[in-house]
Chain A
Amino acid sequence: MNLRLGPPLGLSELRGVERDLHLRLGKWDTQVGDTPVLSSQPLVFHRQEWSRLCAAAERLAAELCMEEQNVLATESLQSRIGIPKPLRPVLGRLREQSARTMRALRFDFHPTSEGWRISEVNSDVPGGWGEAESLPALFQRYYPDLVPSCSPLRAWGEAVARLADGGCIALLSAPGFLEDQQVTLAFQRELSRRAVRSVLLQNPAALRVRQPRISVLVRFYQIEWLCKLSRRTNWPTLLTSADFAVVNPAVSLISESKRFPLAFSKVAEDSAWAEFAPESRDPREVSANDWDNWVLKAAYSNTGDQVYLCSELSKGSLERLLQAVRRDPLAWVAQRRFHTIPLDSVRGPVFPCVGVFVVNGRAAGAYVRLSRRQVTDGAALEAPLMMDRIAQ
């Protein structure tokens, strides 16, 4: 596979990058516990490899949107993929609406010996926009032979500004989570650059009191969290409102479920999902002696927080996990394990995760993480995506 890690930045250069992130670019979470998570090395793609990955992401996105409509029309499929009960009426109302919206997705690709594989699609509230723009830009001055990939934030800004059509945009995120507020602030900077007015909100109820009127709601608030709020916050109306466009729209909760691949009743052999997505099964369909070959994931999980490589669990831990799965099997999915090929970094072997953004069907840059383990978690290094300057 045509990708590599570039040479590392020196300590003082890396410190300069970090300072710019902190003071100018609103990126503050560069330390997680004992781990500094800013990579000193860029991930470098050969241009053709990058083009292949972009094409794959666009095919996956097109198939995803088609299958979402199928699930939207079929209540039994909604149950099969584990849509939370409070949200099913919302899907019912979506069927009657014509959507004025846009879609922003992120497909997480991993290099394996059999080619690229996706671990998941972040369909509801994909993050990493600010990092995907600022890290390549900050690293470029030290790497004259490399160029940054295109900015996903610019593609996002262009699409949202078009949707807003001169109106005000509300940026909603959950209070208390600075990592999420970083994302909405990155959005706000991009909108400000385009002279589009925006406001930051932390409570759906605020939409009732905000002036001026909102024309687009950018929802960076996980839908499975929203539906646990009090109904006094008016969250169901928010998801189906005809007064403003919602980004991402509520239909995204279908493909956000890690059980979404179970909805594909017949996957054509030449489909992108057949090519890039590992086999998924209802956990009840996995043989008891075969768990070493499977990963268990919560249907709605974030940043690897409920992803378990079964072969790495002790017998007792696996049994406890399986008990939880048996109690609520629709809340889990089993995904056939694949092995990401590690790259040698100055901090030891790292496992790349290339999160390719797709905005309104077009691939637009990537958020790169380099994990010290097979699962990409919150302590993974964040790295810029760069390309060779001269096409080879």
Chain B
Amino acid sequence: MTMSIETVYDAWRPESSIWSRWVKPVLFSYLTPGDLVREPDAELAREWNVSHEAQTAVLIDLPGAEGLLVALALARAGWRPIPVYNAIPFPTDDPETDLPLSITRVSRVRAITTVDLDPVLRAIVRFTPTLLDCHLPNDAPPAFVIDQNRKGMFPRSPGCFDNRSFLSTSDFPSAVFLKDHGIRSMAVIRSNMRLDDDARSVLLSWQQEQISIRFQQCWEAWDPRTWSVPGPSRLSQFWHHFGRLLGYPDHESGAFGEWRRPSSS
């Protein structure tokens, strides 16, 4: 059975939910007919016994499609998955990417991109029927899903398609918006507590406005514990300051001179 791209888009970005606006649409526009075939999938049966908390939003920071798998488990408990994957999955100028079957695309994408988003693309489609079956209410709290691999997985060579991405506070609702819509805390689901700087700055912006941040180990017994997110370390601040004085790029990516948004003139 085949779904349309619009069906997939509307399932993840329903008009009725106030949180849909923060679903990043870029990956949906890269779905191809070969992606849209529904297949039985044993992976979807993975359960996680989670207690629903109406005043808690979730930030899932896990690599690749695992974040969506966790989001689906949370959807069964009443959270609405909000995918915040904000990168182009593959270049359209590579003539071979015109081939129709996604399975043949996988090896090619890995060869030519710095971040492999193909598993995420396919998970979005595979998980759609299950998401629809959850019949989430309009006021379901959000579970934002970000890619822990967003800074790159593979060594970069000049000729590869550099589809790394980063987060900023403008990718998420503000603390004021969250509080106005009944959210008082944010449970961060990760495999460890070592945050990248971009995710840290987003969490700090919420924490500073009295959104309580909590940490939850992925797939462990549900018991998010209070987490006071630390600011960037003195060493990290010193390194960036020192690097700027020497004229080095301001960001670990090394790809551009400054790290700021918005970028276009």
Contact = CB atoms under 8 A, between A and B. Distances in A.
B170 interface: yes
14 contacts: A23-B25, A31-B21, A33-B170, A106-B265, A179-B262, A180-B263, A200-B91, A222-B265, A225-B256, A228-B247, A229-B257, A303-B262, A377-B262, A378-B261
B26 A177 contact: no
Contacts of B230: none
B40 interface: no
A302 B169 CA distance: 18
Nearest to B156: A203
A203 to B, nearest CB: 5
A31 B159 CA distance: 32
Interface in B157-210: 157-159, 161-166, 169-170, 172-174, 176-177
A31 B26 contact: no
Interface string A347-381: 00000000000000000000000000000011000
Contacts of A36: 21
Contacts of A188: 92-93
A180 B114 CA distance: 18
Nearest to A106: B265
List the 9 shortest-distance A-B pairs measured between CB atoms, nearest first: A228-B257, A127-B264, A22-B25, A378-B262, A205-B158, A202-B162, A225-B257, A175-B162, A122-B265
Interface in B74-90: 86-88
A125 interface: yes
A15 interface: yes
B265 A126 contact: yes
B264 A202 contact: no
Nearest to B262: A378
Nearest to B15: A15
Contact of A209 (B158, B164, B170, B177): B158
Interface residues of B, number: 49
B29 A23 contact: yes
B48 interface: no
Contacts of A147: none
A24 B169 CA distance: 27
A26 B88 CA distance: 10
B92 A176 contact: no
B263 A209 contact: no
Interface SS, B side: loop
Interface string B227-265: 000000000000000000001010001111110111111
Contacts of A32: 170, 262
A279 interface: no
A181 B158 CA distance: 17
A23 B247 contact: no
A219 to B, nearest CB: 12
Given A23-B9, A179-B262, 6 more contacts: A15-B15, A23-B25, A34-B173, A106-B265, A127-B264, A176-B164
A197 B95 CA distance: 10
Interface of B: 5-6, 9, 15, 21-22, 24-26, 28-29, 86-88, 91-93, 114, 156-159, 161-166, 169-170, 172-174, 176-177, 247, 249, 253-258, 260-265
B25 A225 contact: no
Contacts of A193: none
Interface of A: 15, 19, 22-24, 26, 28, 30-34, 36, 106, 122, 124-128, 174-181, 183, 185, 188, 197-200, 202-203, 205-206, 208-210, 221-222, 224-230, 233, 302-303, 305, 377-378
Nearest to A224: B257
B162 A203 contact: yes
A209 B159 contact: yes
A53 B174 CA distance: 38
A227 B15 CA distance: 44
A386 B127 CA distance: 41
A356 to B, nearest CB: 14
A174 B44 CA distance: 37
Nearest to B172: A33
Contact of B263 (A128, A174, A208, A227): A174
A252 to B, nearest CB: 11
Given A188-B92, A208-B158, A378-B170, A302 B163 contact: no
Contacts of A197: 93
B255 A174 contact: yes
A302 B170 contact: no
A114 B84 CA distance: 45
A175 B29 CA distance: 19
B170 A183 contact: no
A36 to B, nearest CB: 6
Contacts of B6: 19, 23
A194 B150 CA distance: 34
A247 B22 CA distance: 34
Contacts of A126: 265
Which of B156, B172, B254, B256 has the most A CB atoms < 10 Å from its CB? B256
Nearest to A209: B159
Given A28-B29, A228-B257, A305-B260, A175 B173 contact: no
B180 to A, nearest CB: 9
